[in-house]
Amino acid sequence: MKDCVFCRIVAGAAPATKVYEDETLCAFLDIRPIVRGHTLVIPKRHATELEDLDAELGAHIFRAGHRLALAIRRSSLAANGANLVLNDGTAAFQTVPHVHLHVIPRRKGDRLSFATGLVLRRPHDPESTAAAIRAGIAALDAD
């Protein structure tokens, strides 16, 4: 879908700081992160909502989110938890009409900074953040 920003990212026609990609998925940093390391996992093939998504591809998205959450724990971002969130439809606060899973790093005692991040949503040095996540992925591969 040419007017979908996530489809444009997949096609290389819109910028994104990618941290992971395979034949069916792409993961990149959210441009308005709640916290440093906030990553989105999307299917490369357009699906507006869960109703449009093949169940096996949905499972693959969550497996990738699980792996990214573990990678972020092993990275220098020092997370000790994660929220995996998929907002399905505008009633559920989905703002981009392309299925996407949020992987949001959490730290013990971060409630105030997390709440502030929900309001401010500012980037946190995307290149070093992506490098840290990629290093966490490499650490998982080495285990």
Q: Which residues are catalytic?
A: 100
List C-alpha distances in Å: 104 to 56, 64, 84, 114, 127.
23, 13, 6, 10, 17
Question: Are the beta carbons of 135 and 75 closer than 8 angstroms?
Answer: yes
Question: Are the beta carbons of 25 and 6 closer than 8 angstroms?
Answer: no
Q: Which amino acid is present at 106?
A: R
